[in-house]
A and B are shown apart, each in its own frame.
Chain A
Amino acid sequence: MLTILFDGVAYGMLLFVLACGLSVTLGLMNFINLAHGAFAMAGGYCTVILVNRFGVPFALGLPLAFLATALLGGLLERTLYVHVYARSHLDQVLFTIGLVFMSVAAIDYTMGSSQQFVQIPDALQGQINVLGIGMGKYRLLIIAVCGLLTIALQLILTKTRFGSRLRAAVDDQRVARGLGINVGAVFGLTFAFGSGLAGLGGALGAEILGLDPTFPLKYMIYFLIVVTVGGTSSITGPFFASILLGIGDVAGKYYVPKLGAFVIYAIMIVVLIWRPQGLFARATAR
């Protein structure tokens, strides 16, 4: 029971790191980015190549994955995404689904369709027992890394100047622009950072979530659930939503294995009917 809870929390933390970039893009630019999972996949494959082929230590592979995906995200944002911000939601959905299809086929072409594994150092394998609960060491690492990241993000968002600019831009873009905040630049940076986080999440999660070319399609729905259920106005909303989702999913798969993801979709639909703006959304009139 407690092991399920533990696994669920680890899973949820991972989902949060994967999805929080998405929640910011959605909240900031009202942009539906279905291709977010593609960045996560890029991070995962980046780590696989670095660690398995070039023998880069795992601990170094993770930050490199973050950097590589952040660069990729920033590049795509400046060259392609900027043209689509002002378009209708339908255009955005089409555009990003197109990107997903392309990334899936491109990875399939270059890396093959089989599942990839990252070689994890021996020190991180196996379990340790704390108070009778079996905890995977790797999952402990995930919780630690993601927990630290969450705290760091929250601090950046609430304490720094950049954070207050970002929040201002999310709250009211036009007024923020009027106050001299360069919303485009703030957004570009945030997008790159969010993509980087997704890449890091993909690298960390390759072990748990599995990594194959269909990754962006498989997990897209999960990211979107986190974002829609958690709301886009803060990072605490998506955080709680992902923990909830993680525990729900692990428990659902454990207790009613054949029903699979049904539980999750059902929870999502109920929440969205109950509160269409998300569980933790502030009541803003926009």
Chain B
Amino acid sequence: MTTPPLTSALADQVSTYLKGRARWSALEIAFWIFAFSTIWLFPSKHLILKDTAILALFALSLDLILGYAGIISLGQAAFFGFAGYFAGLVAKYGLITEPVVALIAAGLVAAALGFVTSFLVLRGSDLTRLMVTLGVSLMLGEVANRYSNITGGADGLQGVDIEPILGRFRFDLYGHNGYVYCLIVLFVCFVIARRVVYSPFGLSLRSVKGNPLRASAIGIPVRWRMVAIYTFSAGIAGIAGALLTQTTAFCSLDVFSLDRSADLLLVLIIGGTGYLYGGLIGAVIYKFLQDWIANLTPQYWQFWIGLVLVTIVLIGRDRMQFWIETIRSTVENFGARLVARPAKLAAPDGK
């Protein structure tokens, strides 16, 4: 890209600012150190932590399209379930026995499905998108139900035997190895997603979300950007689904259900969209909230989840986002003072 000499100072400033923003902050490093320290801190909670990690990865995939591209989807479960069944089937029939290879393959398969369906999704209004994404996942659910001789139908896919990871670490009953595995996968996917959203590609996505018409006027291929991020997000969702199958050695029709996609939205809303950590934080809060409520009233926890949703909307997400931002910036400033890094470039907020 050529810039006229007059504006080069501004261009430098912008690029310094963007590079500064893309750098890992102290808070982020602390977050991940804490996340990995839970392996030793809470060994008895590994099962729920494992589920949380999977949910966080799944929420991350939705954040990529909702927070960065502005696509409302009720159909992420399609990719989750598709890759889940894929991972289960290849393990059951011994096609790919190595879990890590199977995981990558499942991600690729889900991404392929995402690529194909992206052309259906990227048409029409919010409601049409909602319906088509929902329709795709329900259709897959029906297909899985129809071919019950392969998928096990309503009873779920049974007899899945997952080989040890890298041939050494066997999935144990208490989920120790499973949790470490999920956490590493989550971290790797997160790093990739982070790289993507802070790249020029990610910036162009933000502009598409902000105003598609202007974005296309400055030469951004809006449609292809959407296809690309949808495909990528589908791949991440697929990896999450495959993780679930691998760590539980089971897969049921429930993976395609509407509840799953709706819960996912809730997770993301609790955590906040558009800064990648939303899904992770939301997943932790949601899982422990669910665990706590389910202990109080096993059968009716859905009521309280619904109440939380309604309350969040009535209070207003913007307001909550504002609080979160305030807390975050306070902590970050505090952290920055502790580390005593060079002062940040004072640039206007990127939004």
A residues engaging B (CB < 8 A)?
Answer: 26, 32, 80, 83-84, 87, 89-91, 93-95, 97-106, 108-109, 217, 220-221, 224-225, 228, 258-262, 265-266, 268-269, 272-273, 276-277
Task: Give the residue of B139, B269, B312 whose beta carbon is less than 8 angstroms from that of A266.
Answer: B139
Residues of chain A with a CB closer than 8 A to B300's CB: 105, 108-109
Distance in angstroms between the alpha carbons of A99 and B301 in the assembled complex: 14
**CB closest chain-A residue, reference B124:** A276
Residues of chain B with a CB closer than 8 A to A269's CB: 120, 132, 135-136, 139
Which stretch in B10-18, B97-105, B257-265 binds the other chain? Answer: B257-265
**A-B contact sample (18 more), CB < 8 A, given A105-B306, A109-B300, A272-B132:** A93-B72, A94-B269, A97-B262, A97-B265, A101-B262, A101-B302, A103-B306, A105-B303, A108-B299, A224-B130, A224-B131, A260-B146, A265-B135, A266-B139, A269-B120, A272-B128, A273-B120, A277-B125
CB distance from B314 to the nearest CB of A (A): 6
Find the residue from A87, A97, A220 having the highest chain B CB count within 10 A: A97
Task: Give the residue of A89, A100, A103, A217 whose beta carbon is less than 8 angstroms from that of B126.
Answer: A89
B residues engaging A (CB < 8 A)?
Answer: 66, 72, 74, 120, 123-128, 130-132, 134-136, 138-139, 142-143, 145-146, 258-259, 262, 265-266, 269, 299-303, 305-310, 312-314, 317
Residues of chain B with a CB closer than 8 A to A26's CB: 127
CB distance from B271 to the nearest CB of A (A): 13
| Residue contact A98 to B313, C-beta cutoff 8 Å | yes
A-B pairs with beta carbons under 8 Å apart, 9 shown: A94-B265, A97-B309, A98-B305, A102-B310, A225-B131, A266-B139, A269-B132, A272-B131, A273-B132
| Residue contact B309 to A101, C-beta cutoff 8 Å | yes
Residues of chain B with a CB closer than 8 A to A97's CB: 262, 265, 306, 309
Distance in angstroms between the alpha carbons of A262 and B139 in the assembled complex: 5
| Residue contact A260 to B142, C-beta cutoff 8 Å | yes
Name the prevailing secondary structure of the B interface residues. Answer: helix
| Residue contact B310 to A95, C-beta cutoff 8 Å | yes
Name the prevailing secondary structure of the A interface residues. Answer: helix
| Residue contact A272 to B262, C-beta cutoff 8 Å | no
| Residue contact B309 to A276, C-beta cutoff 8 Å | no
CB distance from A108 to the nearest CB of B (A): 7
Residues of chain B with a CB closer than 8 A to A84's CB: 313-314
Residues of chain B with a CB closer than 8 A to A273's CB: 120, 123, 132
Residues of chain B with a CB closer than 8 A to A102's CB: 302-303, 306-307, 310
Residues of chain A with a CB closer than 8 A to B128's CB: 228, 272, 276
Q: Which 3 A-B pairs have the closest CB atoms?
A: A98-B309, A101-B306, A276-B124
| Residue contact B313 to A262, C-beta cutoff 8 Å | no
Task: Give the residue of A80, A101, A228, A265 whose beta carbon is less than 8 angstroms from that of B142.
Answer: A265
| Residue contact B313 to A94, C-beta cutoff 8 Å | yes
Distance in angstroms between the alpha carbons of A84 and B314 in the assembled complex: 7
| Residue contact B303 to A109, C-beta cutoff 8 Å | yes
Task: Give the residue of A83, A93, A266 whose beta carbon is less than 8 angstroms from that of B265.
Answer: A93
Distance in angstroms between the alpha carbons of A90 and B72 in the assembled complex: 7
Task: Give the residue of A95, A225, A262 whose beta carbon is less than 8 angstroms from that of B143.
Answer: A262
Residues of chain B with a CB closer than 8 A to A87's CB: 313
| Residue contact B303 to A101, C-beta cutoff 8 Å | yes
Residues of chain A with a CB closer than 8 A to B131's CB: 224-225, 228, 268, 272
**CB closest chain-B residue, reference A83:** B314
| Residue contact B313 to A89, C-beta cutoff 8 Å | no
Residues of chain B with a CB closer than 8 A to A90's CB: 66, 72, 265
| Residue contact B314 to A89, C-beta cutoff 8 Å | no
| Residue contact A260 to B303, C-beta cutoff 8 Å | no
**CB closest chain-B residue, reference A258:** B146
Find the residue from B143, B262, B299 having the highest chain A CB count within 10 A: B262
Task: Give the residue of B130, B146, B302 whose beta carbon is less than 8 angstroms from that of A105.
Answer: B302
Residues of chain B with a CB closer than 8 A to A80's CB: 310, 314
Residues of chain A with a CB closer than 8 A to B303's CB: 101-102, 104-106, 109
**CB closest chain-B residue, reference A89:** B126
Distance in angstroms between the alpha carbons of A87 and B142 in the assembled complex: 34
Distance in angstroms between the alpha carbons of A271 and B266 in the assembled complex: 30
Residues of chain A with a CB closer than 8 A to B135's CB: 221, 265, 268-269, 272
Distance in angstroms between the alpha carbons of A265 and B138 in the assembled complex: 8
Residues of chain B with a CB closer than 8 A to A94's CB: 265-266, 269, 309, 312-313
CB distance from B100 to the nearest CB of A (A): 34
Distance in angstroms between the alpha carbons of A108 and B302 in the assembled complex: 10
| Residue contact A101 to B120, C-beta cutoff 8 Å | no
Distance in angstroms between the alpha carbons of A102 and B301 in the assembled complex: 9
Residues of chain A with a CB closer than 8 A to B305's CB: 98, 101
Residues of chain A with a CB closer than 8 A to B314's CB: 80, 83-84, 95
Residues of chain B with a CB closer than 8 A to A266's CB: 139
Residues of chain A with a CB closer than 8 A to B317's CB: 91
Distance in angstroms between the alpha carbons of A184 and B341 in the assembled complex: 55
Distance in angstroms between the alpha carbons of A87 and B132 in the assembled complex: 22
Residues of chain B with a CB closer than 8 A to A91's CB: 313, 317
Distance in angstroms between the alpha carbons of A172 and B199 in the assembled complex: 42
Residues of chain B with a CB closer than 8 A to A276's CB: 123-125, 128
Distance in angstroms between the alpha carbons of A114 and B300 in the assembled complex: 15
Distance in angstroms between the alpha carbons of A24 and B125 in the assembled complex: 17
CB distance from A100 to the nearest CB of B (A): 7
Task: Give the residue of A104, A225, A258, A272 whose beta carbon is less than 8 angstroms from that of B302.
Answer: A104
Find the residue from B124, B135, B139, B303 having the highest chain A CB count within 10 A: B135
**CB closest chain-A residue, reference B72:** A90
| Residue contact B313 to A32, C-beta cutoff 8 Å | no
